[in-house]
Structure 1
Amino acid sequence: MNILSVFLLALAMSADAFAAAIGKGAMLHRPRLVEALRTGIIFGSIEAVTPLIGWGLGRMAAGYVTAWDHWIAFAILSILGVRMIWSGLKPDTSDHEKPRSHSFALLAVTALGTSIDAMSVGVSLAFLDVDILPVAAMIGIVTCIMVSIGVLLGRMLGSASKHSAEIIGGMLLIGIGSLILYQHLSSLTG
């Protein structure tokens, strides 16, 4: 994977965390930079660890599926992309009261929920024999930045942008999966 692919993957992985951060920011009364950075660090750290876990699991199974690795990566990324697009298209029906503050536990659970797709991506990257450490670091850094921005923008933007971020992130995942498949199939014919 080249640096652009890694960045786009990181951007796609951070989209649902960004969307959640907008919601978290909208729930706070005048979110401050310190709260935004704290939230970003929690989300970014978890988002960086989950692809490592997925990659480890994928490496254990990689020997059994090397003939199909590109199709597996394409399928996983496409399914996650479609899921994100679907989630972005659904209307927001939650009507919760605003919390007084966000606890570490609440942020960690939210971050874990938004990072399950990063674990699946880690599995698919194991099949492609990608150096996972720079990819996981990029995912963590981009997520930290995007979540910090999302918290600060949440108050102004509300929930409308949340859906757009999920749709764009889903399209990026499908695009990356398609690129992986195309590169593999074109290397067979070339």
Structure 2
Amino acid sequence: MDIVTIILIAIALAMDAFSIAITKGFTLKNITKMQCLWFGIFFGGFQAVMPILGWASGIQLKDLISAVAPWIAFILLLTIGIKMVYESLQTTDEENAYEENAIEKSEDENGLINKGKFSFKELTLLSIATSIDAFAIGVTFAILKTPILFPIILIGTVSFVLTEAGILIGQRIGHYFGNKFEIIGGIVLILLGFKILLEGLGIL
């Protein structure tokens, strides 16, 4: 897998974290510099660790499925991309309002999510949720026999940087963006899936 593809994958994977960071930058009015740093560390760290786990799982199976590796990579990327786009398009203004009411109720019931407050519990849950796709990417790396060290460093770094940027943007103009970046990330992954498939078939 070439470096340009890896960079695009890293950016696409970071879009979930970027979108959430924008939201948090907009809603956490009194967020400190250290709290901003924790967001970057958690999102970037989980985005780097998940591909390792996926790669370790996929490496055990790559010899059995190497012949169909381009198709598997295509299906994985296509599935992840479509999921990102679909979930983003499903999030309407009415649903956002409903979710806000549900969050407020959840706060009273179990304290799981603290609206307007920084919470390590919430940060951990968000980091896991936004990095699950990275696990599947790690499997893809293993199937395509791509060395894992450089991709995870790049993925983690890009996620960290975009998370920090997202919080700063959210503090200023976050309400204008919504979840548009997740749609962009999903489209990028879909296009990369087609690229890998066409390369595997010898068309590109």
Identity %: 35
Instruction: Report if aligned partners of 1:88, 1:162 keep a CA contact under 8 Å in 2.
Output: no
* Offset of residue 17 of structure 1: 0.9
1:74 CA displacement: 0.3
1:145 equivalent among 135, 142, 161? 161
Larger radius of gyration: 2
Contact 2:73 2:140 in 1 (8 A): yes
Residue 30 of structure 1: how far off its partner (Å): 4.2
* TM-score of the superposed pair, with normalisation by structure 2: 0.86
**Displaced runs of 4+ in structure 1, greater than 6 A?**
none
Write out per-residue CA displacement over residues 126-176 of structure 1, whole angstroms, 9 at most, x where no aligned residue: 100001111011000000000111112123333542421001000110111
Alignment partners' CA distance in 2, 1:159 and 1:76: 31
CA distance in structure 2 between the aligned counterparts of 1:54 and 1:159, rounded to whole angstroms? 34
Deviations 1:164-190 (CA, angstroms, capped at 9, x unpaired): 10010001101111111111111xx69
Matches within 5 A, 1:5-84: 5-84=5-84
- 1:86 correspondence with 2:86: yes
Gaps of 5+ in 1: none
CA displacement 1:4-57 (0-9 Å, x = unmatched): 111111000100111111122222014343322221111101110000000100
In the superposition, the TM-score normalised over structure 1's length comes to: 0.92
2-structure distance, mates of 1:136, 1:159: 31
> Can you list the C-alpha shifts for 1:52-82, whole angstroms capped at 9, x where unaligned?
0001001112122111111000000001000
- Post-superposition offset of 1:100: 4.4
Q: Which runs of 5+ in 2 are unaligned?
A: 105-113
1:18 is matched by which residue type in structure 2?
Answer: F
How many residue pairs match? The answer is 188
